[in-house]
Each structure stands twice: as C-alpha cells, then as structure tokens.
Amino acid sequence: MSDIIEIKNLKKYFTVSGGRQLKAIDDISFSIKAGETFGLVGESGCGKTTAGRVLLRLYDPTGGQIFVDGVDIFKMSPTEKKAYTRKVQMIFQDPYASLNPRRTVQDSIAEGMEIHGLFPGAARLPRIYELLELVGLSKEHAGRFPHEFSGGQRQRIGIARALACEPDIIVCDEPISALDVSIQAQIVNLLMKLQKELKLTFLFIAHDLSMVKYISDRVAVMYLGSLAEIASSAILYDEPLHPYTISLLSAIPIPDPDVERSRKRIVLKGEVPSPINSPSGCKFFPRCPRAIEKCRLDRPPLIEVKPDHYCACHLVPKQ
Amino acid sequence: MSSIPKDKFTPVPKDIASAQKIHRPSLSYWQDAWRRLKLNKVAMFSMWFIAFMAIVAIFGPMLFPDYRDNHLDQTLLGPNSRFWFGTDELGRDLFARVIRGTRISLFIGLTASLITTAFGVVYGGISGYFGGSLDDAMMRFIDIISTVPDMIILILLLVVLPQGIPTLILAMCLTSWSGIARIVRGQLLQIKEQDYVLVARTQGASAGRIIAKHLIPNALGPIIVRLTMAVPAFIFEEAFLSFINLGVRIPEASWGNLGQSGVQQFQQHPYLLIFPALFLCITTLALNLFGDGLRDALDPKMRK
C-alpha cells in the first residue's frame, strides 16, 4: 500500500493573549496509507483535533507540509483546492451541532454535490435516497429536519453528507464520543463497512482507546502537540513502549472481572502542562515515572525502534 | 418467576425499518414557530389587533379625510354624534385626526424599524462575518458613538436639519442602529463557528453561499423579534419628541402631537388627551406583547 497522506514536520501555533504562543501541534510527522484507518489518540487539548483541521485546510499551518497524493495541500491552485475539498471530508463529534437546523436532511446532504456539480438535475434525488439507505436510513427521512432525529441518526446523516462528495479520505473527529455505547458500536460498524465497500482512508481521531483499537489499523499517540508513539494497533496495545502509552493503556478497564481485579493502573502525577508553556526537553518528563536527567534537557526524536514501530523516548533505544 | 412456561413466549419480529420511522409530521422551523405562536392567546390577540390597526392606518384616512378642516363655529365640543371624539380648539374633528395620527405614527415606527434593522444587519453582518481587526474597529466605533447620549444627537439633528417626517426618521435611525448591529454580530460570531458551517467550508462552499444558506437563516429569528420590538419603541420615541415640539408639526397629526395639544387643555377637555393616549398605549402594548410572544415562539430553548 502506498502513502496517501504524508505529514512532514507539521506545526500549528496559535497566538493567545499577551502575544504568547500556544503550540497546538509541535512538529509532527507521519504518513497514512491508502485504504487504512489511522487512529489518532490523546487526551483533551493534545492537538489531535487541530491536526485534523489542518488536514482539512480549516487552519493554515505555522510550518511544515502535508502531501496528499503527492501534492502539497498548502500550495494548490484554486482548481486543485476545489478538487481537494471534494476528496477530503469530515465527520464531526457533535451530531447536534453539525447539521444546520434550518435545512432538511436532503438539503444538507445535497450541499456538497451542489458545490462540486455532482449528480446534476434529476440524478441528485435518487442519489440522496441511495446514500440514506447506505447509512441505514430510508428515503422518507430526506424531507425531515435535524431536530426530528436522534443522535445516532444524525451521525448517520453526517456520514451520508460526507459520502455525498465521493471522497477518498474522511477525517472522523471523535465521531462516536457524543453517542450512547450501543449506538457507538452501530456507527463504528457502519464506518468499517463503508470503508471496505468504498475503499476509504480514515483519519480516526478519538480518546476512547478500546474503540480506536477496534477500528484502526495503525495508531498514533499524541501528547501535548507531539507524537509519542506510532505502531500497528495490535502491537501498540500488546507491547507499548512509550511510558505515556503504557500508562494510558493501563487505564482501560478489562471486561473480565478476575483480570480486572488484578489490573494495576499507573496513575500519573500532576496535570497536563499548558501547551502555552510546554516543558523543555521531553514534554512528558514532569509526569513520567521513569524520567532521567536527559529527559529534562533534550527532546527525544520519534525514531523507528522496531520495524513500523516508532517511539519518542530516550529510554527506548533502537532495537 | 419460573412459573411462566417457556412456550408462552413468542419472539417479536425485529423490524429495523419501522424502528427508524418518524410518526410526527415534518415541521420546518417556521411552521413550528407558527404552531407555538398560535398556542399563545395573548400574542395572537395582539397580532389581530395590530392587523386591525394597520387596516385603520391604511384605509381610515381615506374615509375620514378632513383631519385639517377647521370648524370654527364648533370648537372644543365633547364627543357627540357628528364628531365621535369631539373637536379641538380650532374645531378640527379629533376622530379624523386620531385616525390620521395612527397612519403617521405607525408609518414612522415601521419605517424607522426597517431602516435600522437593514443597516444594523449589514453593519453587524460584516463585522461578525469577517471578524478580526475589522470587527474590532467597527465595534470600537459603536462604543464611541454610544458614549454620546442619544438625546443630544437627536435634538441637535432635529434642530439643525429641515423639519419634517423624513428628518425625524433619519434622526431616530442614526441614534438606534447600534443595538441591532451588536445583536447580529453576536449571532454571526456564534453561528459561524458551528460545525455545520465548518462542514460547508471543508466542502468548498463560497462565502456568499455560507452567508445565504447558513448564517442568515439561523440569525433571522432574533432579528425579526428585535424588529417587532423596535416598532413600539420608535412610536413611543416619536410621541416623546412630538411632545417636546421636536417631532411631527401641526397641522399634521400624530399620536404624540395630539397628546401634546391635549395636555394643555387636559383639565377642561380631558377627551383631547384621552383618545390619542388610548390609541398610543393600546397599540404599543399590543406590539410589545406580540413581540414577546414571537420571541418565545422563535426561541428554540422554549421548545417544549
């Protein structure tokens, strides 16, 4: 599989009051292969949503490049930009805020097609019905307004809207965290089914580790704007290397009472430092149970410690 | 518990299609708002009353055109069968004058509200949509003009500019557009960060499309409420300005200047004040009550 998205040294700083800089994304590099689901996990405020939004060109980056199909997305001509907005779509976290309350489902789904001139004229309505059925709704829902639907149904509408543009890449920004657990499973299974049928590439942003493990092929762990570890999901969950990943994984409850009772949680001390004043050296050192003097001074680079397993930690040497 | 035999149970067929069915009829935002407004008796009564006053304002002066005719042999008569509301000190028919005043007062209130709203929406819309330093500059400008008391600007304008209803409307608009501009800006700042606007942007929608399809339809509710509430405020302001002799000039009639002449003779001829005051009060009350009802109907947080 070839890389469809290649992110190189991406930086996004926001200027906050007092002229200080909030480093939402601080030099991250990774690539996503065509047709895979790439999970991006981390706690609130670690920059994962910002990363998704930079990829969608909602924000201009402070530095770095993103190549999609080999083209630098920040150096595109207006026609290329328009084609790019068709190719990359987004599914949002809050299904209540992501649909315009004044427009019918059909209007919302049709918007992308109208912008890009897909399925013109009489072909559009049948296509909308087809999309609704694809996501498990029916064509009677087309003329309804968002307030008439439940959260899970709205999220399905959001998925249908993203699919309307026939994208290659979908950025899923916590698409399930606002839903009930039973509905979460439905939506995740729907996403996986659609990915298989339509050959989509997903950037799946979430903080629910077990859900990410279930859906993702590879997972990247983010901490305070930097990447801590990248590996295939099976390896990351079985043999985590970075101390932050290890402590994160220790927080997942295990659905077996006997094992669960003996599970030992690694409770980190302190709070996440502010991204305005991030620590020098390794960003994780003030909370890291294994920190040494070097961690305070030097920032560890993200290196390939094992084949396809990347980790940014001084204590994890290249094997 | 275990006494119920197993064969008493039959599985319910699982019908996913019917589980997704919605039985309630589909209502758009405006249909839903109208449904809620209809439940509000006071607001509906006010609405019909305003409609009636609008008919009076449009057709009344055609039926009673002699609001300026002096009947010098019949001055200061009380209400009688020929002059239903009596006559003033120059023998003018007070009923015809009050009807004429209805047209003038409602016209001023409505025109001033429409002009202020239109200007406020454009100003607030530009400020809110583009944001950043343009927004800062535009809002600071509003802050600065807000520090000058409205009454000073109003009185200066009315004294300096030529007398007349257009001047009056202009002066009132110049002192009151900032409120609606602030509301529209606030609305847009909030709406443009909504996820559905972000979706439209990621799908490559143009600024014009976002404004027309997403921002304006969602900001319209508060704007309409504000417009409705501005009408009685302007009618009142006109009445006040006429009362201090800066508004509509006699022989033209408005509720304000009729009241002003009525006050001078209140002790001998109270009907000269009572009739115009009654029209003024009941109409502004109806407009305010209707505006309240409309706000409740349009506010999604009031949704039951």
Pairing of strands A201-206, A37-41: parallel
A-chain CB neighbours of B300 within 8 Å are: 101
Asked whether the CA dihedral A66, A70, A73, A76 is positive or negative, the reply is: positive
Closest CA to B153 of B174, B131, B138: B174
Give the minimum alpha-carbon distance from A114 to chain B in angstroms, rounded to a whole number: 9
Asked whether the beta carbons of residue A101 and residue B300 sit closer than 8 angstroms, the reply is: yes
Give the minimum alpha-carbon distance from A161 to chain B in angstroms, rounded to a whole number: 9
For A56, the closest of B196, B202, B205 (CB atoms) is B202
DSSP B55-77: HHHHHHHHHS--TT---TTSTT-
Q: For chain B, what are the domain ranges?
A: 33-65+79-302
The whole-angstrom separation of Cα B199 and Cα B18 is 30
Q: Residue A267 has what DSSP assignment?
A: P
Q: What token pair was written down for A128?
A: 């909308």
Closest CA to B220 of B109, B283, B300: B300
Closest CA to B299 of B230, B225, B229, B227: B225
Dump pLDDT digits (tens) for B114-164.
Answer: 999 999 998 998 898 888 889 999 999 999 988 888 888 888 888 888 888
CB B60 within 8 A of CB B107: no
Interface test with A, best of B24, B187, B199 (most A CBs within 10 A): B199
The whole-angstrom separation of Cα B99 and Cα B255 is 9
Closest CA to A159 of A211, A95, A224, A223: A95
Asked whether the beta carbons of residue A97 and residue B194 sit closer than 8 angstroms, the reply is: yes
Please name the residue of chain A whose CA is at the shortest distance from the CA of residue B193. Answer: A97
A-chain CB neighbours of B194 within 8 Å are: 97, 100
The whole-angstrom separation of Cα B232 and Cα B106 is 9
ipTM: 0.84
The reported pLDDT for the residue numbered A161 is 92
CATH code of the domain occupying B33-65+79-302: 1.10.3720.10
Closest CA to B64 of B83, B45, B39: B83
The size of the A-B interface in CB pairs under 8 A is: 83
CB A47 within 8 A of CB A25: yes
The whole-angstrom separation of Cα B71 and Cα B89 is 9
Closest CA to A228 of A318, A319, A309, A297: A309
The reported pLDDT for the residue numbered B304 is 43
Q: Residue A64 has what DSSP assignment?
A: E
Please name the residue of chain A whose CA is at the shortest distance from the CA of residue B19. Answer: A137
Asked whether the beta carbons of residue A145 and residue B29 sit closer than 8 angstroms, the reply is: yes
The reported pLDDT for the residue numbered B18 is 65
Q: Residue A36 has what DSSP assignment?
A: -
**How big, in percent rounded to 5, are the helix, strand and coil portions of chain A?**
40, 25, 40
For B217, the closest of A93, A102, A144 (CB atoms) is A102
The whole-angstrom separation of Cα B284 and Cα B112 is 15
Please determine, looking at this structure, whether the domain spanning A3-311 carries the CATH number 1.10.3210.10: no
The whole-angstrom separation of Cα B274 and Cα B135 is 48
The reported pLDDT for the residue numbered B51 is 94
Q: What token pair was written down for A242?
A: 């970075």
CB A10 within 8 A of CB A222: no
User: Which range, of A78-87, A109-118, B290-299, averages the lowest pLDDT?
Assistant: B290-299
Dump pLDDT digits (tens) for A19-78.
Answer: 788 888 888 999 999 989 999 998 888 888 899 999 998 888 998 889 998 888 888 888
Q: By percentage, how much of chain A surpasses pLDDT 70?
A: 100
- Cis bond upstream, residue B300 (ω within 30): no
Give the minimum alpha-carbon distance from A257 to chain B in angstroms, rounded to a whole number: 28
User: Which range, of A92-96, B53-57, B72-76, B149-153, averages the lowest pLDDT?
Assistant: B72-76
What is the overall mean pLDDT for chain A?
A: 87
Q: By percentage, how much of chain B surpasses pLDDT 70?
A: 94
Which band of pLDDT confidence, cut at 50, 70 and 90, is reported for residue B301?
low
Backbone angles phi, psi at B225, to 5 degrees: -60, -45
Q: For chain A, what are the domain ranges?
A: 3-311
Please name the residue of chain B whose CA is at the shortest distance from the CA of residue A113. Answer: B203
Q: Residue B86 has what DSSP assignment?
A: -
The whole-angstrom separation of Cα A282 and Cα A275 is 13
Dump pLDDT digits (tens) for A210-261.
Answer: 888 888 999 999 988 889 999 998 898 888 889 898 888 888 888 888 877 8
Asked whether the CA dihedral A46, A48, A49, A52 is positive or negative, the reply is: positive
Q: What is the mean pLDDT of residues B187-206?
A: 89
What is the overall mean pLDDT for chain B?
A: 85
pLDDT at B85 over 70: yes
Is residue A268 within 8 angstroms of chain B, CB to CB? Answer: no
Q: Report A:164-203 residues touching B (Cβ under 8 A).
A: 165
pTM, full prediction: 0.79
Rg (CA), chain A: 21
CB-CB neighbours of B62 under 10 Å: 9
Which band of pLDDT confidence, cut at 50, 70 and 90, is reported for residue B302?
low
For A98, the closest of B29, B196, B203 (CB atoms) is B196
